[in-house]
Chains A and B, each alone.
Chain A
Amino acid sequence: MSTGRSALLLLVLVILAVCGARRWIDVVEVRGQSMVPTLQPGDRLIVVRAPGRVADVVLAFDPRDPARELIKRVTAVDDWGVTLRGDNPSASTDARVFGELPPSSVHWRAVARYWPPGRIGPIVGNWGVPLTRQPVERSAG
């Protein structure tokens, strides 16, 4: 990990400390395997309040159980909504099951991991790489 990245992360943490309120920036812990290898269970992330763009890792409420907050990757954004997929498709319940979500349900974006120390850095995964996954098929009408 470069000095630049460490400094940036430190800056974010300082902002977090100053903000305190955690309304615009927050820290969360990941549970589950569906974002492996990008995210491992137990990873701790810095998230910022922002809408999801294609390729972002975002937080969204599970449409089937709003008490559960999901972390997934945005693979498409269109007129129908936001398509979320896990980076580990064989162990992910995502848009293939629950379809697209209204854009308003995506409310936080993951920007960096600060724990474990060995993997500190920005959340990239397939960031910047053209996505091959297509939005889920929707039935007519």
Chain B
Amino acid sequence: MISLRSILRPSRIVDAHCDIPCGIYDPEQARIEAESCLRIIEKHAASDDDHFRARCIAIKEERAELVKHHLDVLWHDYFKPEHLEKYPDLHDTFWKATKQASKVKQSLDAGAAKELLFMIDTVDEMWKATGGLEKTRVNGRPS
């Protein structure tokens, strides 16, 4: 007797294949850029050289933009719907973190940059808890 279930069971998988996606994701990328922002803000405050201070602002805005980019990539490429079930506040976390990156881009407030690092660490915990370290790095993070 042929059951409906056996008729509907696919005989094989066919590939809508793409070679490209590298599958390498790590919140560390965003963190390094955010650390740059914090350090640059400190250097800006310690300097009285107008030219240097102007460069600090330009570089800090560039780095803050990279934080947003790396967070965005993690958000829409690494995290999947099943992760959202485990972390219902995932979208809110990313939204707030990218907003915080905008705040760091706009200001020279070291406190805002520290808050951003804290938020990236929250994302990092989610990434680790969903197996990111094992699944998305080659041989894990360098120690």
Residues of A that sit less than 8 Å from B by CB: 13, 16-17, 20, 22, 26-36, 39, 41, 44-45, 59, 62, 68-72, 86, 88, 91-93, 97, 114-115
Q: Which residues of A contact B21 (CB under 8 A)?
A: 91
* 16 contacting pairs across A/B (C-beta < 8 A): A22-B11, A27-B9, A27-B11, A28-B11, A28-B14, A31-B14, A31-B15, A32-B16, A44-B8, A62-B15, A70-B14, A86-B18, A91-B20, A91-B21, A93-B20, A115-B8
Give the total number of A-B pairs whose CB atoms are below 8 A apart: 79
Q: Determine if B141 is an interface residue (Cβ-Cβ < 8 Å).
A: no
Query: Which of under 10, 10 to 19, 20 to 34, or 35 or more describes the interface residues of B?
Result: 10 to 19
A88 CA to B21 CA, complexed, in Å: 13
Q: Which residues of A contact B17 (CB under 8 A)?
A: 32, 34, 62, 68, 70, 92-93
B80 to chain A, nearest CB (A): 11
For A27, give its contact among B2, B7, B16, B19 (CB under 8 Å): B7
Q: Which residues of B contact A36 (CB under 8 A)?
A: 16
Contacting residues of chain B (3-32) with chain A, CB-CB under 8 angstroms? 4, 7-21
Interface pair B11/A26, CB less than 8 Å apart: yes
Interface pair B7/A72, CB less than 8 Å apart: no
A44 CA to B10 CA, complexed, in Å: 7
Interface pair B8/A27, CB less than 8 Å apart: yes
Interface pair B10/A28, CB less than 8 Å apart: yes
Q: Which residues of B contact A31 (CB under 8 A)?
A: 13-16
